[in-house]
Amino acid sequence: MGEKQTLDEEFQQFATARWPRLLRTAYLLTGEQHAAEDLVQSSLERVYVSWRKVSAADDPDAYVRRVMVNAHARKHRKRLKEYLSLNGDTGVDRELPERGDRMAQADDRAALLRALAQLPPRQREAVVLRYWEDLSEAQAAECMGCSVGAVKSNASKGLAKLRAIPVLAGAVGSRGTWG
Amino acid sequence: MRDEGQSTVELDIELRAELAEELSADLAEAAEGVRVGPVPTAAVMAGGRRRRLRRRSVVTALALAVLLPAGGLTVAVATGGEETGSRGGVAAQPAAPGVFTPVTGTVGTVKLPNGTTKKIEVTVYGAPGTATVMFKQLDFARERGDLWSKLPEDMLVPAPSRQPFAHMWFSVAFVEGDKREPLPMGPISLHQTGSLHISPVDRTMGVGIAPRGSSVEVDWRKGQKARPRLVSVPGVDAVKFYIVAIPENVVNLQPIITFHNQEGEAIPTIPQS
């Protein structure tokens, strides 16, 4: 088997294994199904271009996250604002089965996604990386290409803003405490 | 006082930890809202290869035909318009454009009055088939840098009468070194043969599609005639693009561009858009 074929197979295995997790992170960053798929796909395309180096690195996942966060910062900032201002929601409700509890769950998810979308991109990235990806402040700083202090500040501000958004407080207040 | 302050800090840390835990749980629940479909590894790898090719792309031939002898602006059309990548000497068979797997080719170079030379790239997309897919495809093209990101909606979506879902379409970009700049033009259907699409902002050049089997002639009405070279891109060999440089004093090129069939007869064309 040639080296190229081996690398391709390694990449396929990597992409297949990481796709669900990356897609969920992208979904929290973008707030929309198709945008999330596109973000992950374009990020993995970039990773594939440099796969020989990436696969030899200590932490390929960190590299992929960084590529994705950078791509999000570049491309999705303006688009998401336009999308939300045009549609007034994230489209999540329409894509989920309209049955019993799932409706309420979808409402809560949509409220959180809308609230996330209202955060400035850097704060959204800090919140998602710290509290969804469960990265340390240092790891999040490396991923975002900024200082640890900036991550602390962005995450703290993001958290405070999420708590202050009325629709989110209503959505999580019924079952949670952090609102 | 110090004890009270210390207690407040501890309480704050405790509260923050609790909030973080709650938020993590809520984010996890929200993230479950995404539908995880099949992993498009083939599309990802194809996209990666295209990015790699674009990085390595070189113009295979230059300065074959000077179209405007005295206009101060010249267009030299490259021979094949194909991009080449280092493939160990084995030429890859170009694939036909798909809905989300467009093909890109260099169709010429333009030398601007300020002395800079830019490559002209054409990217061809497959017919989307439905409106839903078309909108997703247009988003994809904008994010990929094939369409101008600031394009207004009315320029982005072709008029319904043109049946935009039914046809392959193309976009045009200038490339200078590593910088790729989509021209402020909307998507152009491949079925619009004969028309000429001029970059609306700088009006430096126009790109058109010659009717099948025809040749193109530009009559500058001062005894000067030119025949732009017809160029195709990989995977869409049947479509012949041509490029025309636009002099500053010319508003509408349509009357001075004619197409001829193999017998030399003029071929009627659809209006310029």
pLDDT, tens only, A106-146: 566 677 888 888 888 889 999 999 888 888 888 898 888 88
- Across the interface, whether the CB atoms of B36 and A19 are under 8 A apart is answered yes
CA distance B218 to B134: 35
Which residues of B are less than 8 Å from A162 in CB distance?
Answer: 23
Domain CATH for A146: 1.10.10.10
Closest alpha carbon within chain B to A13: B41
| Same domain flag for A27 and A64 | yes
- Across the interface, whether the CB atoms of A109 and B30 are under 8 A apart is answered yes
- The answer to the question of residue A125 being in a domain is yes
> How distant is the Cα of B52 from the closest Cα of chain A, in angstroms?
6
Q: How many beta carbons lie within 10 A of that of residue B234, not counting itself?
A: 22
Which residues of A are less than 8 Å from B144 in CB distance?
Answer: 42
Residues of chain B with pLDDT under 70: 1-16, 53-94, 112-113, 151-164, 192-195, 198-204, 220-223, 247-255, 268-273
Single out the residue of B192, B199, B251, B244 nearest to residue B218, CA to CA: B244
| Same domain flag for A105 and A157 | yes
For residue range A63-114, what is the model confidence (pLDDT) as tens digits? 899 889 888 877 655 554 444 444 433 333 333 333 344 455 556 667 788 8
- The answer to the question of residue A122 being in a domain is yes
Among A58, A75, A92, give the residue marking a domain's end.
Answer: A75
| Same domain flag for A68 and A106 | no
What string of H, E and C letters represents the secondary structure of chain B? CHHHHHHHHHHHHHHHHHHHHHHHHHHHHHHCCCCCCCCCHHHHHHHHHHHHHHHHCCCCCCCCCCCCCCCCCEEECCCCCCCCCCCCCCCCCCCCCCCCCCEEEEEEEEECCCCCEEEEEEEEECCCCCHHHHHHHHHHHHHHCCCCCCCCHHHHCCCHHHCCCCCCEEEEEEEECCEEEECCCCCEECCCCCCEEECCCCCCEEEEEECCCCEEEEECCCCCEECCCCEEECCEEEEEEEEEECCCCCCCCHHHEEEECCCCCECCCCCCC
Which pLDDT score, from 0 to 100, does residue A11 have? 92
Phi then psi for A106, rounded to 5 degrees?
-65, -40
- Residue among A16, A24, A28 minimizing CB distance to B39: A16
**CA-CA distances (angstroms) from residue B178 to B1, B54, B57, B58?**
62, 9, 10, 11
Closest alpha carbon within chain A to B27: A132
- Stated as kind and residue range, the H or E segment containing A5 is helix A3-30
> How distant is the Cα of B172 from the closest Cα of chain A, in angstroms?
20
- Residue among A51, A116, A177 minimizing CB distance to B18: A177
- The answer to the question of residue A40 being in a domain is yes
CA distance A13 to B101: 22
Closest alpha carbon within chain B to A41: B44
> How distant is the Cα of B44 from the closest Cα of chain A, in angstroms?
5
- The answer to the question of residue A27 being in a domain is yes
Higher pLDDT, B90 or A62: A62
Which pLDDT score, from 0 to 100, does residue B221 have? 64
Answer yes or no: pTM beyond 0.80: no
First to last CA, chain A: 56
Which residues of A are less than 8 Å from B53 in CB distance?
Answer: none
Taking any CB pair shorter than 8 Å as contact, residues of chain B touching chain A are: 18-20, 22-37, 39-41, 43-45, 47-49, 51-52, 55, 136, 139-140, 143-144
* Overall residue count recorded for chain A in this entry: 179
Which pLDDT score, from 0 to 100, does residue B13 have? 59
Which pLDDT score, from 0 to 100, does residue B194 have? 66
Indicate whether A32 pLDDT > 60.
Answer: yes
Q: Write out the two tokens for A43.
A: 């990020």
**CA-CA distances (angstroms) from residue A151 to A40, A46, A147, B23?**
23, 25, 7, 17
Domain that holds residue A142: 101-168
> How distant is the Cα of A162 from the closest Cα of chain B, in angstroms?
10
Q: What is the mean pLDDT of chain A?
A: 75
- Across the interface, whether the CB atoms of A12 and B45 are under 8 A apart is answered yes
Which residues of A are less than 8 Å from B13 in CB distance?
Answer: none
CA distance B174 to B122: 9
| Same domain flag for A163 and A125 | yes
| Same domain flag for A111 and A164 | yes
- The answer to the question of residue A174 being in a domain is no
Which pLDDT score, from 0 to 100, does residue A84 have? 42
- Across the interface, whether the CB atoms of A44 and B28 are under 8 A apart is answered no
Interhelix angle A100-118/B2-31, nearest 10 degrees: 120
Indicate whether A22 pLDDT > 90.
Answer: yes
- Across the interface, whether the CB atoms of A176 and B26 are under 8 A apart is answered yes
Number of domains comprising chain A: 2
Which pLDDT score, from 0 to 100, does residue A110 have? 75
Residues β-bridged to residue B174: B120, B181
| Same domain flag for A7 and A71 | yes
- The answer to the question of residue A92 being in a domain is no
- Across the interface, whether the CB atoms of A108 and B140 are under 8 A apart is answered no
Which residues of A are less than 8 Å from B151 in CB distance?
Answer: none
- What dihedral do alpha carbons B94, B97, B98, B99 form, nearest 10°? 150
Residue with tokens 């975002």: A144
| Same domain flag for A58 and A18 | yes
Which pLDDT score, from 0 to 100, does residue B23 have? 80
Indicate whether A44 pLDDT > 90.
Answer: yes
Higher pLDDT, A158 or A83: A158
Domain CATH for A20: 1.10.1740
- Across the interface, whether the CB atoms of A23 and B45 are under 8 A apart is answered no
| Same domain flag for A108 and A69 | no
Highest mean pLDDT of the ranges A2-11, A107-116, A162-171: A2-11
Which pLDDT score, from 0 to 100, does residue A94 have? 32
Task: Find which of B15, B36, B44 to mutate to test the A interface (most A CBs within 10 Å of its CB).
Answer: B44
What are the residues whose beta carbons fall under 8 Å from the beta carbon of A155, sequence distance 6 or more? A123, A126, A127, A130, A131, A137, A140
| Same domain flag for A111 and A47 | no
- The answer to the question of residue A62 being in a domain is yes
- The answer to the question of residue A113 being in a domain is yes
